[in-house]
Structure 1
Amino acid sequence: MFRRGSSAVCISYAELAEMRTSMGNVICFDFMSIKSNQVWGVAMARGHFILITMLFGWLFMSTASAAEFEGENQINDDLSLLFEEDELFISATQSARTLGKAPAIATVITDHQLENMGARNIFDALVTVPGFGYSYLNTISTESDIEVRGIKSRMDKVLMMIDGHRINNPFHGSFNHLFDEFPVEQIKRIEVIRGPGSALYGANAFVGVINIIMKKPGDFKGVKLKAGGGSNSRRHGNMLLGQGDADGGVVASYDRLDTDGSRQFVAADAIGGSGYTNFWRSTDTAHLIASMDKFSFSALYLDKRRGTPLSITNMIDTRTRTNNRQAYGSAQYRDRLGSVDVEARVGVDQFEWDTEWQINLPGFTTGHPLLKNRTYSGELRLQFEPLQGHHLTMGVSQEFQRQFDVRHIVNGVDVSNVFNHNKPAKRQLSAVYLQDEWEIRGDLILTAGLRFDHYSDFGNTTNPRLALVWSANDSLDIKLLYATAFRAPSFIEMYEINNPASVGNPNLRPEKMQTFEAGLVWKLTHNYQLSANLFHNRFTERIVPTTPLTINSGGATIWGGEVELKADWQEYLYGYLNYSYQKSKDNQTQLTLPNVPQHRIRVGANAGLFDDYLNFNAALRWDGKRSRAAGDTRAASPATTVVDLAVSTEKLMKGLTLSFKVHNLFNAKNYDPSPVSVANGYPRPGRTLLAEAEYKF
């Protein structure tokens, strides 16, 4: 129980039956007088969960006290608060809706929240979203594999966009291996849709859509410099420049990250050897947005070099290195012609893959595959109201994808003509889509959409959506949603050759998803908001690597639910708690889909201390046990727990912000699922420290 009216917190073990300990019946701490050695003594003991419970209890009690003190004071409109920011959500329909009225199950993460949590990259933010997680995947790209609602895949089933520009590349179909550490300094907000989005966005919007909204002219003005370092020889620097206003100007950023990576001990690799992971990284990221009147231009360049925790054959690795690059340029025109809003966009993307693998023992065979992808794209979108109560969105898009400069070097010898790893390829796709947001009456909106895609290599696919949103009253919105989605087979799945583990098949069909959802958003009070939803997914035409070919085989059924409570009082005083459950079943084997937890819990709280002189942010992430793949007789992969703390101040000197973050505070030994050849799993990073200084002028 928590004792109100003082700074003391008491926890009864009678109320927490699962916490077995030889200590007394009740533990009480006073946070105003507790000594640091006492905190660490408790934390390092078996009952470190006690400290976590007390921490969040104290923070939420602080919010309750603040609410009593503030009474009914009006919150300033210009604060980037959890509830106020909902008004700007656009990704669900391409028109502004509140989260409650958006025809999707969605989440918004603001720049204010990114700063307070001390987010190092976008994945630090995405794992706070209900149903989201990620794990290490030891494949050709040594990537972080994103998980959404019980589904994971080395080829992405999540679409990522930057200001509406697609990031997923044709080779993998993914974004993870390059954008998992994408910097957050120029991000204004991250909009996340949990569920299908192909009716509006096409391929890869299978189980989720992530749209990163960058700061544009008018959002930032001046110069901001950041520098910092921390554990594992981490060095990080960022520069953000902004000039002009919403009518015209420029915002540009450059980010550099270097780290030796967390050296985690591996007791036994695929051949019984032991040693340390070698996951070093070095990344350069540059982004530019320039605008003038109705025209705008954006560009991105990302160059990422890194090692790998283990080799592609799951052995201790000192040789493998990847050097992947991605860049794009995109020009947009927006105008209102009469009663019609017009948006036209053209762009070009370049992806370059350059990886040198240690295939066997150090000093033996190395493989060095290389290739390039280039995509030309164009889109025209119109929005208008043909009849009262109807908001129509219609558009056409065209893409041309090309894979070229495909080469393979083995032990320094170019064997591209006799033993290449992939082949040149071309793909052309055309799409047309239509969406109607029909306001049947003031409290009832029906959204109906349909998109038709034609691909030159596998044919046609049509994907509809229906969404009914009922505003039962000023505080409660109820949603019923239906949609289908598809994932186009990637070039590696279609054209990979001379790889016994994954042989391409040019006759693959797209994966398909059918989803039913029901949800609600309930503003319990001015300070509390409850969101809950249920979903049922039917996954068919799964793309599965087999011998001798990658094929479409079988499907899966996934159902579950998510619930989240948010509390928000002031700019620096808010918290959240969410729980996700999913149950999956392979329709052929009737087994649970492997390597994804059924249960996830996320808890976070932010509080300004000492009259907001210090900002304190704490977050807990717990993922339950994960079942093994068929034929793997090991016990389920253990549950994982990570606690992060971030402290910052911006009141020492005008323009100066100092921050300190501890990731994995308790140095928990967490492992991601691995093949049987790596008995304990892939080790996750232990405790890491990060200190940074930022100055704006």
Structure 2
Amino acid sequence: MKRINILACVSVCAGVLLSTSSVALAKKADFFDLPLEELLNVEVSIASTSPEAIITAPATISFFTRDRLARLGITKLHQLYRFIPGFYSAFNSTEDNQSYISVRGQSQKYGSTVLFLYNGQRINDDYSGGLTYFIRQFDLSNVERIEVIRGPGSATYGANAFNAVINIITKTEDTLSVSTGNNLTLDGNLGLTYQVDDLQLALNVNHYDHDGQRYDNVYDRFGRQNQSTDPQTANQIEASASYQSFTWRYLFQQNSRDNFYLYNNLYDGLNRVDLKNQIHQLEYKLVDTGEFGLNLSAQSSTNQRESMGVQALQGMPGFAEDDVLFGFNIEHKSLQLNLSSYLLFEDGSRLSFGTSYQRSQVPEAFFISNYNIFTDLSYLNELRYFNERELQTVSDKTREISSIYGQYNLQVTPDLNVSAGLRHDHYNDITSAWSPRVAAVYNVSPKSVVKLLYNEAFRVPSIGDLYEDQSNLSPGSSDVKTAELQSLELSYNYVDDRYFVSVTLFENDVSNLIGFTNEQRSSVTNISHNLSRGIELDSQIQLSPNVNLLLAYTNMLSNKSTTILHDKGVMSEKMTPDQYANVAIDFNITSALTVNVQANWRDKVDLLQDKGSLWLFDGLVNYQVSERSLLRLQFHNLTDKSYFHPYSQSLGVNENGIVQQVPARGREIEVGWRYSF
């Protein structure tokens, strides 16, 4: 990796939304009710896989509790991103492959530079490297808390912990909730728990049914339609059983989406994507004395995707008999084994270490078409499944990863903590990788903390990036290199009885960023090198005993890519605004009535045809009818603003030039009720 310039940064040891802690949750207290020493010593495990105070954690961390998610109206995972400092979500109305999650100026298809964890175990698939290829609608109704590393985390978690790590931690409560709205048919959730002696059982069920919004400003390169809808249904079930130190957990997710863009085309009544995901988790705490801990965990996951769309219309050259129908079915399986441990010494220093093994396969990956796409494109008069072994795309590829990591935190003085960490990942099919990091945390005063962080991270080419050699959509290449990142942050955080203020400056130097060429038949390759510098301003202010203000602002001071492919790929800076902000104001009108008003702003996005800035407004009203019953009224895009999200590939050309944008959803109104047993 290249040497990067030293950059002074100022950030927070916890994000702007570190407004409640596990202590606060137990007391039903908010951020400003916590004494400083409790706030700064809230324990998280995301930084090194073992419990440690946020103040000494060698990472910039944001922390969301169940209560804070409810106060912000966050019920689905994609709604969370805009509340994380440094994140910009272009999660578009297709909720498909082209939905981007940008972090500190970096945008990647499938969200492949953000590592997602489910109760501490990675759920990014090895086929795409990201989350959104197989998982779209992730419900958060039974989430206990969410921990976020803002910045690299490869020294602990390995590949794809490139720009951020998000750990979703679940715990079911006895609740029943239902919501409906102008486009939402039903969003219903039931949580049940049962305990006898040391045995704890839990079941959480969610059903989501959305009629779809009508879009009158869609672009169709075939010219056959000028409006569309995006209906979808989703089901999510989590079952768990805990006995003493043993926990078993099962997650099932199913999502179906109709119409709207698929394979860059519109074709209502035909375009469809069906997704299914199953995850089994086992955890066993062998030892946990507070001074020494040893945990074993295992995870088995299966992801399935079936899709069908249109590639060309009847009457186009070579296709006289019928429209060209095209589908792709794929199954991905993964097995993970993990061992993690920590050792706390008498002088306050801590050693965290662990090892893991992961094995991923794509046992099935084949195309469906009514034309013979492998020979002369002759018409078949029926849909054929090209599932013969020799025609499958990546079915003979298996990826195995063996990893080991360690991190040592040393309490040099009562006010100074330094740490160093190192991880090694060995791959059976590509180059292995080392990921180091060093950090220093200094208590300037009882109310302020400074952190200096240096991290290296990597994003390996996925199985699809390397071996998708027969696809006529996005073929991979064995020449794709591992993307590498060097990151430096210097952070400062101040908090007192009424104020929480932080500023973060960062510098990221990326080599061999992996992306897709901007062509109708795009291909996977290394598209650019990138050097970015930015500032994150986060604050929370208690304006009065009943009014709290939260502000997150990001400014990309510079974000410059050097192309490898002579402008054949879409650069990150064209997908992401230079400045964006989120403001949320909490009003406690009465002891039973609370109101949350949100404003989201960004400046221009170069890829969009409208180069103007954008304001969006959301709102949430909660009314506590009784101790157990809560009514909710929620607004999204309150002013019904018409706007677009960037789309990485060309959809065609209109009077304003190349179209690389899709319309976003307009105003949505939801009414909900929640009852706690």
- The whole-number CA distance in structure 2 between the counterparts of 1:576 and 1:642 is 16
- State whether structure 2 residue 142 is matched by structure 1 residue 170: no
- The whole-number CA distance in structure 2 between the counterparts of 1:506 and 1:320 is 31
- The whole-number CA distance in structure 1 between the counterparts of 2:391 and 2:401 is 30
Cα-to-partner distance string for 1:336-375 (whole Å, 9 max, x where unaligned): 2775310011121111111112223486111121121111
- One-letter amino acid matched to 2:236: T
| Identical positions, percent | 24
Q: Matches of residues 425-574 of structure 1 in structure 2 within 5 Å?
A: 425-523=397-495, 525-546=496-517, 550-568=524-542, 573-574=547-548
Structure 2 partner of 1:396: 355
- The whole-number CA distance in structure 1 between the counterparts of 2:134 and 2:204 is 17
Q: Secondary structure at the match of 2:432?
A: strand
- The Cα of 1:640 is off from its aligned counterpart by 2.5
Which among 334, 338, 345 is matched to residue 375 of structure 1?
334
Cα-to-partner distance string for 1:39-76 (whole Å, 9 max, x where unaligned): xxxxxxxxxxxxxxxxxxxxxxxxxxxxxxxxxxx999
Q: Secondary structure at the match of 2:445?
A: coil
Structure 2 partner of 1:596: 576
- State whether structure 2 residue 132 is matched by structure 1 residue 161: no
- State whether structure 2 residue 142 is matched by structure 1 residue 189: no
- One-letter amino acid matched to 1:394: F
Which among 116, 119, 123 is matched to residue 74 of structure 2?
119
Structure 2 partner of 1:668: 641
- State whether structure 2 residue 644 is matched by structure 1 residue 685: no
* Contact kept? 1:140, 1:312, Cα under 8 Å: no
Which among 270, 280, 297 is matched to residue 345 of structure 1?
297
* Contact kept? 2:329, 2:366, Cα under 8 Å: yes
- The whole-number CA distance in structure 2 between the counterparts of 1:441 and 1:101 is 12
> In terms of mean alpha carbon deviation, does 525-534 or 133-142 score higher?
133-142
- The whole-number CA distance in structure 1 between the counterparts of 2:118 and 2:535 is 28
- The Cα of 1:127 is off from its aligned counterpart by 1.1
* Contact kept? 2:469, 2:477, Cα under 8 Å: no
- The Cα of 1:215 is off from its aligned counterpart by 1.6
* Contact kept? 1:420, 1:497, Cα under 8 Å: no
Cα-to-partner distance string for 1:174-213 (whole Å, 9 max, x where unaligned): 1124544322210111111110000001111000000111
Which among 325, 329, 352 is matched to residue 366 of structure 1?
325
Which among 70, 78, 83 is matched to residue 27 of structure 2?
78
Q: Matches of residues 570-585 of structure 1 in structure 2 within 5 Å?
A: 573-582=547-556, 583-585=558-560
Structure 1 partner of 2:178: 227
- One-letter amino acid matched to 2:307: T
Q: Secondary structure at the match of 2:231?
A: strand
- In 2 relative to 1, CA 658–77 (structure 1 residues): closer, same or farther, beyond 3 Å? closer
Q: Secondary structure at the match of 1:359?
A: strand
- One-letter amino acid matched to 1:303: Q
Which among 567, 586, 595 is matched to residue 606 of structure 1?
586
- In 2 relative to 1, CA 316–337 (structure 1 residues): closer, same or farther, beyond 3 Å? closer
Which among 204, 222, 227 is matched to residue 271 of structure 1?
222
Q: Secondary structure at the match of 2:129?
A: coil
* Contact kept? 1:345, 1:378, Cα under 8 Å: yes
- Please provide the CA RMSD for this pair: 2.7
> In terms of mean alpha carbon deviation, does 168-177 or 456-465 score higher?
168-177
- In 2 relative to 1, CA 266–201 (structure 1 residues): closer, same or farther, beyond 3 Å? same
- The Cα of 1:248 is off from its aligned counterpart by 4.3
* Contact kept? 2:329, 2:365, Cα under 8 Å: yes
- The Cα of 1:561 is off from its aligned counterpart by 0.9
- The whole-number CA distance in structure 1 between the counterparts of 2:52 and 2:137 is 29
Cα-to-partner distance string for 1:377-399 (whole Å, 9 max, x where unaligned): 10111211357332001111001
- The Cα of 1:106 is off from its aligned counterpart by 1.7
Q: Secondary structure at the match of 1:594?
A: helix
- The whole-number CA distance in structure 2 between the counterparts of 1:267 and 1:95 is 48
Q: Secondary structure at the match of 1:459?
A: coil
- The Cα of 1:101 is off from its aligned counterpart by 3.6
- The whole-number CA distance in structure 1 between the counterparts of 2:545 and 2:246 is 34
- The whole-number CA distance in structure 2 between the counterparts of 1:359 and 1:516 is 45
Cα-to-partner distance string for 1:488-541 (whole Å, 9 max, x where unaligned): 211221121333442212343321111011111111x21211011111001112
- The whole-number CA distance in structure 2 between the counterparts of 1:335 and 1:153 is 39
- One-letter amino acid matched to 2:309: W
Which among 212, 216, 229 is matched to residue 261 of structure 1?
212
Q: Matches of residues 49-64 of structure 1 in structure 2 within 5 Å?
A: none
* Contact kept? 2:473, 2:523, Cα under 8 Å: no
Which among 86, 97, 106 is matched to residue 131 of structure 1?
86
Structure 2 partner of 1:19: none
- State whether structure 2 residue 634 is matched by structure 1 residue 655: no
Q: Matches of residues 641-652 of structure 1 in structure 2 within 5 Å?
A: 641-650=615-624, 652=625
Cα-to-partner distance string for 1:627-646 (whole Å, 9 max, x where unaligned): 23xxxxx7564333221111
- The Cα of 1:282 is off from its aligned counterpart by 0.6
> In terms of mean alpha carbon deviation, does 495-504 or 652-661 score higher?
495-504
- The Cα of 1:401 is off from its aligned counterpart by 0.8
Which among 257, 278, 281 is matched to residue 327 of structure 1?
278
- One-letter amino acid matched to 1:175: L
- The whole-number CA distance in structure 1 between the counterparts of 2:279 and 2:105 is 32
* Contact kept? 2:265, 2:651, Cα under 8 Å: no
- The Cα of 1:279 is off from its aligned counterpart by 1.4
Cα-to-partner distance string for 1:251-296 (whole Å, 9 max, x where unaligned): 3211000112222112542234542233111101011232111111
- The whole-number CA distance in structure 1 between the counterparts of 2:52 and 2:531 is 31
* Contact kept? 2:94, 2:261, Cα under 8 Å: no
- The whole-number CA distance in structure 2 between the counterparts of 1:233 and 1:383 is 46
Q: Matches of residues 7-22 of structure 1 in structure 2 within 5 Å?
A: none
> In terms of mean alpha carbon deviation, does 80-89 or 396-405 score higher?
80-89
- In 2 relative to 1, CA 295–600 (structure 1 residues): closer, same or farther, beyond 3 Å? same
- The whole-number CA distance in structure 2 between the counterparts of 1:139 and 1:664 is 17
- The Cα of 1:570 is off from its aligned counterpart by 9.3
Structure showing greater relative contact order (alpha-carbon pairs closer than 8 Å, 6 or more residues apart): 2
> In terms of mean alpha carbon deviation, does 260-269 or 599-608 score higher?
260-269
Q: Secondary structure at the match of 2:80?
A: helix
- One-letter amino acid matched to 2:341: L
5+ residue gaps, structure 1, are 1-73, 629-633
- The whole-number CA distance in structure 1 between the counterparts of 2:670 and 2:527 is 46
- The Cα of 1:549 is off from its aligned counterpart by 5.9
TM-score (norm 2): 0.85
Structure 2 partner of 1:626: 605
Q: Secondary structure at the match of 1:493?
A: helix
- The whole-number CA distance in structure 2 between the counterparts of 1:302 and 1:548 is 30
* Contact kept? 1:287, 1:301, Cα under 8 Å: yes
TM-score (norm 1): 0.82
* Contact kept? 2:154, 2:161, Cα under 8 Å: yes
5+ residue gaps, structure 2, are 1-22, 315-321, 371-382
- The whole-number CA distance in structure 2 between the counterparts of 1:627 and 1:543 is 20
